A and B are shown apart, each in its own frame.
Chain A
Amino acid sequence: NAGVTQTPKFQVLKTGQSMTLQCAQDMNHEYMSWYRQDPGMGLRLIHYSVGAGITDQGEVPNGYNVSRSTTEDFPLRLLSAAPSQTSVYFCASTKTGGLPGLGYTFGSGTRLTVV
């Protein structure tokens, strides 16, 4: 089925390790974004991209890096994992970010634990 695919679903990291969370969509969406959700909280925006080659910071970008070399993929890199980055991470996409008459599609999430 078409949609947003996130891998891995679960990950345990040691403090200081780096890793990349993958996000791919096959709907030809220009806009993609990453959120984190801590227990009992709403989602907070980390980074977003309005098209290939264009990225920008959201509300909580520190400790994370992104790039957008293709329309389909928007990986999120943790440079040096810290326990404060333990969270559930969601990727989202929509056709064009500046057209609010369209719905957004979310992935099923990556549950990350940093020990």
Chain B
Amino acid sequence: DAKTTQPNSMESNEEEPVHLPCNHSTISGTDYIHWYRQLPSQGPEYVIHGLTSNVNNRMASLAIAEDRKSSTLILHRATLRDAAVYYCILLQRGSQGNLIFGKGTKLSVKP
């Protein structure tokens, strides 16, 4: 399975944009890029996913590099409630569909 690399931790100020990077240099053409986040004492929560094009939803935006070897999750205005561990996961089309979690990036948001 292709692996992802994320920084262990990041800090942001409230109401400022946050860019969470993810490297996946061994990504294959059929791998989807998924992002999940886990708030303290809760189960993971789906954030966004994409294949080749940039994606937007009500929670965040996903910017995918042209060569697909990296991606960035963008939170447009961080709130205290966005403090969580963010996981970048590759999911291969046609596989059993198992999400394989790394250690993720712990995002702290300062008021």
Chain A residues in the interface with B (C-beta under 8 A)? 4, 31, 33, 35, 41-45, 48, 50, 56, 58-59, 90, 92, 94, 96-101, 103-109
Residues of A within 8 A of B93 (CB): 98-101
Smallest distance from the beta carbon of A97 to chain B beta carbons, Å? 3
Q: Are A45 and B100 in contact (CB under 8 A)?
A: yes
State A43–B91 Cα separation when bound (angstroms): 15
Residue of A56, A100, A103, A106 near B43 (CB, 8 A) is A106
Q: Are B32 and A43 in contact (CB under 8 A)?
A: no
Chain B interface size, under 10 / 10 to 19 / 20 to 34 / 35 or more: 20 to 34
State A41–B17 Cα separation when bound (angstroms): 27
Q: Quick one: closest A residue to B99, CB to CB? A: A104
Given contact pairs A31-B97, A56-B96, A41 touches B49 in the complex (Cβ within 8 A): no
Map CB proximity to A onto B24-64 as digits: 1 under 8 Å, 0 otherwise.
Answer: 00000001101010000011111001010000000000000
